[in-house]
Amino acid sequence: MQIRPATVADAGRCAEIYAPFVTNSWVSFELDPPNQAEIGRRIEQVLSSHDWLIADIDGEIAGYAYGSPHRTREAYQSSCDVALYVDPKFSRRGIGRSLYGSLLSSLKERGFHSAFAGIALPNEASLGLHQSIGFASVGIYREVGWKMGAWRDVQWLQLLL
């Protein structure tokens, strides 16, 4: 497996990995899957300030992870949000852990001090991954989103880089 920075050329495959999580789960709070052009726009935007990394296995993109601003006011600039998506056919092979290992060290090198992840519950895999890396729970936003016919809670976790 190779972890490398994304380019806009990866947008189609990233959109393909992301779409089922949007359509069939509450893991993402988007309601309609973004198309390739929109993901390409997001990759370009993220690369201007944070990182978007790709896990490449023998030329196939197995997953991706990226950082983004936590909040926009200036004193928040040293904090970032992180997220990752791994194609289920590659799950539980250490890809998420490797992506985050590279992402978090790169964000630290860029000067970010604190990383946050918001996890819509239940999501045992994502909670397990973040906790195994050292993220600690901050608290739970109760009924902060409505998706797939139910109120959804989001647990926030934090890692000091």
Ligand X SMILES: CC(C)(COP(=O)(O)OP(=O)(O)OC[C@H]1O[C@@H](n2cnc3c(N)ncnc32)[C@H](O)[C@@H]1OP(=O)(O)O)[C@@H](O)C(=O)NCCC(=O)NCCS
HSE-CB of 40 using CA atoms within 13 angstroms: 8
Q: Does 19 bind ligand X (CB under 6 A)?
A: no
Q: Does 117 bind ligand X (CB under 6 A)?
A: yes
Q: Does 11 bind ligand X (CB under 6 A)?
A: no
The tokens describing 26, both together, are 């509450």
Q: Does 91 bind ligand X (CB under 6 A)?
A: yes
Q: Does 95 bind ligand X (CB under 6 A)?
A: yes
The residue from 2, 45, 132, 137 that contacts ligand X (CB under 6 A) is 132
Tracing tokens 């497996």 back to the chain, one arrives at 1
Separation between Cα atoms, residue 121 and residue 119, nearest integer Å: 6
Cβ proximity to ligand X: between 94 and 111 the closer is 94
E-assigned strand segments in 12-120: 52-57, 60-69, 79-86, 114-120
Say how many residues touch ligand X, by CB under 6 A. Answer: 22
Torsion (CA) 72, 157, 110, 8 in degrees, nearest 10? -80
Which of the stretches 46-54, 69-77, 79-87, 106-114 binds ligand X when contact is defined by CB under 6 A? 79-87
**Interface residues toward ligand X, by CB under 6 A:** 21, 27, 83-86, 91-97, 117, 119, 123-126, 128-129, 132
